[in-house]
Structure 1
Amino acid sequence: MARAFEDKRSSHQKIAAGLRRQITRGDIAPGTKLPSTPALMNEWNVAGTTVQKALLMLKEEELLEGQPGKGVFVKEHTQQAISPMVYMPPAGTGEPYRWISEAEKRSQRGSSKLLDVTVVTPPFEVSRALGLEAGGQALLRKQILSLDDEPTELTCSYYPLELAEGTAMMERRKIRGGTPTLLSELGYPPREFVDEVSSEIPTEDEVLALELPKDMPVMLTFRVVYSDNERPIEVSLLAKAAHKYRMRYRLSVS
Structure 2
Amino acid sequence: MDVAGHSGAPAYQRIAATYRNKIISGELRPGDQLPTEHEITELFGVVRQTVRSGLSVLVTEGLIVARRPHGYFVRQREHMVYRPQQKSRPRPATPEMDRFSQQIVAEGRTPSQLIEVSLVQAGPELAERLQVNPGDTIVARRRVRFINGEPTNINDSHFPLDLVRDSEIMSPAYLSRGTDQVLAELGYRQDYAIDEIFVRMPTPDEIHRLNLGPGTPVATHYDTGYTAAGQAVQCTVNVLPGDRHKIVFERQWQDDPGN
Calculate the TM-score normalised by the size of structure 1.
Answer: 0.70
Q: Residue 84 in 1 paired to residue 84 in 2?
A: yes
Q: Using the alignment, how far apart are the partners of 2:15 and 2:202 within structure 1?
A: 19
Say if 2:197 and 2:221, in contact at 8 Å, map to a contact too: yes
Q: Using the alignment, how far apart are the partners of 2:121 and 2:232 within structure 1?
A: 17
**Closer, same or farther: CA 167–145 of 1 in aligned 2, 3 Å:** same
Q: Residue 176 in 1 paired to residue 181 in 2?
A: no
State the shift of 1:223 in Å: 2.7
Query: 1:1-254 residue pairs with structure 2 within 5 A?
Result: 11-12=12-13, 15=16, 19=20, 30=30, 50-55=50-55, 57-58=58-59, 61=62, 63=64, 74-92=74-92, 94-95=94-95, 96-118=97-119, 120-133=120-133, 135-186=135-186, 188-189=189-190, 191-203=192-204, 205-252=205-252, 254=254
Q: Secondary structure at the match of 2:105?
A: helix
**Amino acid aligned to 1:195:** E
Say if 1:55 and 1:64, in contact at 8 Å, map to a contact too: no
Judge which range, 173-182 or 147-156, deviates more: 173-182
**Amino acid aligned to 1:212:** L
Q: Secondary structure at the match of 2:139?
A: strand
Aligned-residue sequence identity (percent) comes to: 19
Could you give the per-residue CA deviations for residues 112-160 of structure 1, whole angstroms, max 9, x where no partner exists?
A: 1013332x32111111111114543321111211111111122332112
Q: Secondary structure at the match of 2:172?
A: coil
List runs of 5+ in structure 1 lacking aligned partners: 1-8
Q: Secondary structure at the match of 2:101?
A: helix
Q: Using the alignment, how far apart are the partners of 1:27 and 1:163 within structure 2?
A: 56
**Amino acid aligned to 1:110:** P
Structure index of larger Rg: 2
Q: Using the alignment, how far apart are the partners of 2:14 and 2:232 within structure 1?
A: 42
Aligned residues: 242
State the shift of 1:10 in Å: 10
**Amino acid aligned to 2:101:** I
* CA-based RMSD: 4.4
Q: Using the alignment, how far apart are the partners of 2:159 and 2:167 within structure 1?
A: 12
Q: Secondary structure at the match of 1:180?
A: helix
**Closer, same or farther: CA 14–115 of 1 in aligned 2, 3 Å:** farther
Could you give the per-residue CA deviations for residues 67-121 of structure 1, whole angstroms, max 9, x where no partner exists?
A: x99x965454344432222244352455222221121122221111013332x32
